[in-house]
Amino acid sequence: MNLSNFIRRGGLLLLIGVLFGGLGSLLWAQEPAGGSTTAKASQPSKKADAGTDPIVVSFNDQKITASEFKEILLHLPVQQRRQYTGAGGPRAFAEYLGQLLVLSQGAEKESLERNAGVAARLKFARTQVLALAEQQAISDRMWVSDEDVRKYYDQNQNRFIQLHLLHISLRLTGSDTQENDQMRKGLEAVRKRALEGEDFRALAREFSKDSDAQQGGDLGFLGRGNLGDAMDSIVFRLKPGEISEVFDAPASLHLFKALEERPQPVSEARPVIAEILRNRMLQAALSSLMHEVQPSVNEQYFARESERLSTDMPITVQVGKDGKLLSNTPSIAPPSSTNEKKK
């Protein structure tokens, strides 16, 4: 059975549901029994020739080809995609997929899709996937003119500033809290030396573990959106000559120095502005659509049952031995993209 058939049978719902920890990020869904409609989002964008599309993960008769594997990676949430596209990440993710395929096949053998609760979640997931596909289709049909872009740029020039940045980055070592704490203290000491006047480029060459280390951590001029929202909120508060605090990103520590700033050319800002304007247009279109075709909600049911529903489905929090919050969704631990097994 290839991945497309597996998707249509709903097998990937368990895979993606376990991976993402809930239905909110589901990307594929089950085809209705006896139906022939399949959500377009579940199909690979291109069907590669079998001779050039090797199988990369398999379990019994379930096989995932290279093109299908790339499609899955492409649709991961941003944080997981970053985790699994770094060094060793794709191989680790392939191992994780294999483990999930084993669980999915077990669920199919036990006919768990006949369980009322599972069936309800499958129905919701399919509805969600199709809704997101339609939302994307609406967005793709929207056109943002150069005049609209220029007008937004002129009205929001303070948002389109580029900073020339230097950067020092250290990669954290998974679950070893003590070693990570030592790395943080080390980078704090590096920051202190930079504040005392040592050359930031020289410090980057000595301590940074990023690919730009030998260039003195020089990232060139960057605008908002290049580093992600979390880093942007810290970096773009810096004035030329200032050094940031040491701060965490997924699996890494970072330190920045701003050298100079300049206005971002409107040609470079256009993709970001077009996306902002397209999102505004999309929200307006969706609001108009919902106003025209309002779905029906049984108000009497919710007036009568709301208190009982709240009581029957309390939000619980589980805490592990280390004091960290645990997810209420059972999952298997994804393998690290680092080679921790060799410890």
- Show the domain range for 238: 161-263
Residues 181 and 114 in one domain: no
pLDDT confidence of residue 49: 55
**Residue 332: which pLDDT band, with cuts at 50, 70 and 90?**
very low
Residues 125 and 194 in one domain: no
Q: What is the pLDDT of residues 100-113, one digit of tens each?
A: 889 988 998 999 98
pLDDT of 18 higher than 60? no
pLDDT confidence of residue 40: 35
pLDDT confidence of residue 65: 92
In a domain, 31, yes or no: yes
Q: Is the dihedral of CA 2, 65, 57, 11 positive or negative?
A: negative
Residues 38 and 135 in one domain: yes
DSSP labels, 266-331: HHHHHHHHHHHHHHHHHHHHHHHHHHHSPPP--HHHHHHHHHHHHHHS----EE-TTS-EE-SS--
Of 87-96, 161-170, 188-197, 325-334, which gets the smallest average pLDDT?
Answer: 325-334
In a domain, 32, yes or no: yes
Q: What is the pLDDT of residues 114-140, one digit of tens each?
A: 999 989 988 998 998 899 889 889 888
In a domain, 339, yes or no: no
Residues 136 and 14 in one domain: yes
Residues 200 and 79 in one domain: no
Cα–Cα distance for residue pair 235/190, rounded to 1 Å: 18
- Tokens for 59, please give them: 């379990």
- Domains of the chain: total: 2
Cα–Cα distance for residue pair 255/239, rounded to 1 Å: 14
In a domain, 200, yes or no: yes
Give the residue from 101, 104, 263, 254 showing the smallest Cα distance to 191.
254
Residues 14 and 127 in one domain: yes
**How far, CA to CA in Å, does 219 sit from each of 55, 166, 216?**
38, 6, 9
Q: Which residues contact 200 (CB under 8 A, 6 or more apart)?
A: 166, 168, 194, 216, 217, 243, 257
Cα–Cα distance for residue pair 175/106, rounded to 1 Å: 30
Residues 194 and 87 in one domain: no
Torsion of CA 219, 224, 228, 234, to 10 degrees: 80
**pLDDT (average), residues 270-299:** 90
Helix (H, G, I), strand (E, B) or coil at 222: strand
CATH number of the domain that residue 181 is part of:
3.10.50.40
Residues 120 and 222 in one domain: no
- Tokens for 257, please give them: 């120095």
Residues 100 and 172 in one domain: no
Cα–Cα distance for residue pair 175/23, rounded to 1 Å: 27
Q: In the listed set 213, 229, 263, which residue is the last one of a domain according to the structure?
A: 263
Q: What is the pLDDT of residues 165-219, one digit of tens each?
A: 999 999 887 667 888 889 999 999 999 999 999 999 999 999 999 888 999 999 9
Question: Letter for the amino acid at 257?
Answer: K
Do 133 and 124 contact (CB within 8 A), yes or no? Answer: no
